[in-house]
Amino acid sequence: MIERYTLPEMGRVWSEAHKYELWCRVETLVLEAHAAAGRVPADVVEPVRQAPPPTPEAVAEIEATTQHDVIAFLSAWADNTEPRSAAAYVHHGMTSSDLLDTALAVQLTDATDVLLAKADRLVAALRDHGLAHRHTIKVGRTHGVHAEPDVWGHRVADLAFAAARSRDRLRTARAAVGVVAISGAVGTYSLIDPSVERIVAEALDLRAADASTQVVLRDGISEWVSSLAILATVCEAIALEVRHGQRTEVRELSEAFGSGQKGSSAMPHKKNPIRSERIAGLARVVRAAIVPVMEGIPLWHERDISHSSTERVFLPDAAITLDYLLDLTAGLVENLVVDVDRMRANLDSTGGLIYTSAVLLELVEGGMGREQSYALVQGAAMQTWQTGTPFRETLRARAEADGVALDEAKLDDICRPERYVANLDPLFERLAALS
């Protein structure tokens, strides 16, 4: 992922230098287990433990000849080991994927922990914003068209619970990728004792694989990437709400606009939802990882490395991008500008059409047939759409023409927006408890 969207903590997780640090850690743990069991000389452990990880440049130089990254790493690390002969016992009984998959599991769980912390921040921001606007009346929309009165906090609560569910899916997926496999060339432990795998897993606070061939089957990693994509898409849903709300014709929401910020090189008046649009664009990048990574589940008899190149690109990119997205989205919510007066003005802009559903039910409950009631209310509503005459006036005229008596006192109550959100208290109690 390009530096523009890479935050330092997550960038460190996926750096080449850190990867080789993890490879050294895994190999050292295996060597210590062998030595403790008496399978290798005990005096080789300390020289290997003290050997600094090789630099990415040193590994790359050797790999240019070997065309094998693990062999290149082992050779470069051996060059850093004193005495070099101690390095002969490194990678004892292992195959490359024992090292690769186990170190990758550490990277994936470390990356997940960074993401979960930022997801917690986003959930908290949405929760607090929703509670702050539990009484902010606005129009509820369906298909982009005014429907019934609502409160802004209700819409935010929906997004908060979605973000929390998505975070929890990611937490579950962490367990799916936190898997150690140190089982040898075809997963049969032919040259390495199964106890080594268990010891290493415990040291890394991971779990030993239920089974592996030379690799861990990629269903767990696919689950992890899918959970990232879902969380990224929830971020996009939040951003889309802001983009709609910042449209000139709506103007209910807007991103914070800092002193000195510019919206357009040509039009000085512009204040564009650039953060929200960036979120929408980058969510596509995370979603794009799903299919290529999932296609690493079926491998050739019984494994090949076609998944390797894919994962080198998509796993870091998906994690780094979502990390940036979560940070950006939390900041968007924390600094969101809400125009309460504009929300109320928009609610009133259709002349009372947002009350038609309650009027329909009132007529039915008063004894009129549903079809007749619907025809009466729809006819009045269409006249309001066409002429701009307030709905109460067109309704009154239609009812009088049809010989229907209206209870004006009940209509006064029906046409009060607060009536429509009176049953939301339990929802906001659930929101307040969200963590």
For residues 161 and 434, the answer to whether their CB atoms sit within 8 Å is yes
What's the alpha-carbon Rg for the chain, to the nearest Å?
Answer: 30
SS3 42: helix
Q: 292-328 as b/e, with b when 16 or more CB fall inside 10 Å? A: ebbebeebeeebebebeebbeebbbbbbbbbbbbbbb
pLDDT at 84: 97
pLDDT of residue 151: 98
- The reported pLDDT for the residue numbered 370 is 96
Spatial CB neighbours of 266, under 8 Å, sequence gap ≥ 6: none
51 token code pair: 């050997």
Residue 301 DSSP label = S
Cis status, amide bond into 83, omega within 30 of 0: yes
Alpha-carbon gap, residue 48 to 88, rounded angstroms: 10
113 vs 316: CA distance, rounded Å: 14
Tokens at 105, concatenated:
């599991």
Q: Which residue has the tokens 């850190």?
A: 18
pLDDT of residue 199: 98
* 143 belongs to the catalytic site: yes
Judge whether 307 and 219 are in contact, CB under 8 Å: no
**Residue-level pLDDT at 264:** 86
Catalytic residue among 85, 190, 195, 264: 264
The position carrying tokens 């894919």 is 310
Nearest 5°: CA angle at 336, between 333 and 341? 135
Compute the distance between CA of residue 261 and CA of residue 270 in angstroms, rounded to an integer: 10
What gap in Å lies between CA 207 and CA 200, rounded to an integer? Answer: 9
Give me the average pLDDT of each 10-residue run along the chain (435 residues). 92 97 98 97 98 98 97 98 97 97 98 98 98 98 96 98 98 98 95 97 97 93 98 98 96 91 88 95 98 95 90 96 98 98 97 96 94 96 96 95 92 94 98 97
What is 196-241 written as a DSSP string? HHHHHHHHTT-EE-S--SSS--THHHHHHHHHHHHHHHHHHHHHHH
